[in-house]
Copies of this chain bind each other. A is one copy, B any other.
Amino acid sequence: MKNEAITRMNDDFAKWYTDVCKKAELMDYSSLKGFIIYRPYGYAIWENIQNYLDKEFKKTGHTNVYMPMLIPESLLKKEADHVEGFAPECAVVTKGGTDNLEENLVIRPTSETLFCEHYSKIVNSYRDLPKLYNQWCSVVRWEKTTRPFLRGSEFLWQEGHTIHSTKEEAIEETLRMLDIYKATCKNLLALPMITGLKTEKEKFAGAEQTYTIEALMHDNKALQSGTSHYFGQGFAKAFDMKFLDKDNNWKYVYQTSWGVSTRLLGAIIMVHGDDNGLVLPPNVAPTQVIIIPIKQENETVQNKVNEIYNNLLNKNIRVAIDNSDKSPGWKFSEAEMRGIPLRIEIGPKDVENNTCVVAKRNDYTKITLDINNDLGDNISNLLKQIQDEMYNKALNHLNENTYNVDNYDDFKNIITNKGGFVKAPWCGDENCEVKIKEDTTATSRCINKEIQDKKCICCGKDAKYEVTFAKAY
């Protein structure tokens, strides 16, 4: 069964990952380090994520806008924490046309400052609030170590930026978008996520609070998969974003931002993939069903293939036929590499019996179905079933690799030998967070809850929080 074109997962997980990225034709490298090419198959997955999320955003009252790609350095510097966080990883434009620029411009690493400047111009009254904007674009952050989809100098994302007249409304928005991310990961990508607050050390540059969704990869490392930030009035004061409230007083707005990126493709690959390549959840798969004819030169086979194709198309199933001049075995491998959820095999004998063989990508089981008997509905149901099976399998993996510890020896033992999510009591002191990272390379992924009556695994003082730690991408 093993596809020899890619490294085995257990032999070298990192190599397996990049093999899948390349061989499933999701991406290619460009000549510029850290800048990848999103090939048709990879981009089609991203388009499906975009379409799904965009509908969710619009249902909840958000509209899309587009802000400039370039930010004057003086604008980036207006909020102190923000510039400190992002300046070291900016790409800087110093020439425009034939002239050296009077002021350097950075390619947006994120667009808070641009939204703030615009909002400060267009908002005057409580009547103008809330503003619920989103932007689909690419951003640039100069990274030293890069990996396809996981960490790149350029990546595709959406960034939502909202402003509100009250703190409560802004916090509600922050949590609403976190919920939308979590539900999208489940319903579209079959990815279970844990959620919680980032520590002060790990939060976004300029935010008061950062909420995160975190997934657990097949190698038991965590992947931060999306974040939702509550900014309070920090940017509002730096950018003078004020409004005249109903009580006739000028007040600063409350702000949020939230984003997910093409990193989600990395999560899909590393949670669902196997030694034969990609395994795609049906709901996000560009092709859900591929029909592979056996003896494709046989006219009755072709007629039946076309009949099934049209049948499935009418059920709104994303279906394709592979009529290329390759052998059926080769086509099976390719369909597996590309993670297509269902493969229908049909040859002369099947036509005689009015049956077809349906192979499930996620667990390699095969089913024989009657072509004339509700085939479209049966295939639709199988796709739903696969989506559930994939989510449950990933959830089981997450649960089986989540641990509770109350002492540092156990913590170090599990982190080092098993990996996974390790929940542990923490005092809240950044020094302990730093020491844990130095000792084990694990980082705090999120704060789960406030606790009492426990001791910090690192310093032994009273613990304030239960935190999930993990090694992470």
Contact = CB atoms under 8 A, between A and B. Distances in A.
Contacts of A39: 65
Nearest to A47: B64
Contacts of A75: 31
Contacts of A137: 138
B69 A35 contact: yes
Contacts of A44: 63-64
Nearest to A324: B127
Contacts of A462: none
Interface in A86-141: 88-98, 104-105, 107, 114, 117-118, 121-122, 133, 137-138, 140
Contact of A105 (B32, B40, B98): B32
A66 interface: yes
Interface residues of A, number: 53
Given A64-B43, A93-B107, A122-B28, A35 B70 contact: yes
A163 to B, nearest CB: 14
A142 interface: yes
Given A40-B133, A44-B63, A122-B28, A95 B91 contact: yes
Interface string A137-154: 110101010000000011
Contact of A94 (B43, B64, B66, B94): B94
Contacts of A122: 28
A32 B72 contact: yes
Interface in A23-58: 28, 30-32, 35-40, 43-44, 46-47
A36 B68 contact: yes
A368 to B, nearest CB: 33
A140 B69 contact: yes
Interface of A: 28, 30-32, 35-40, 43-44, 46-47, 63-72, 75, 88-98, 104-105, 107, 114, 117-118, 121-122, 133, 137-138, 140, 142, 144, 153-154, 156
12 contacts: A31-B117, A32-B71, A37-B67, A38-B65, A40-B64, A44-B63, A46-B66, A69-B107, A70-B91, A91-B95, A91-B96, A137-B138
Nearest 4 pairs between A and B by C-beta? A97-B142, A35-B68, A40-B63, A38-B66
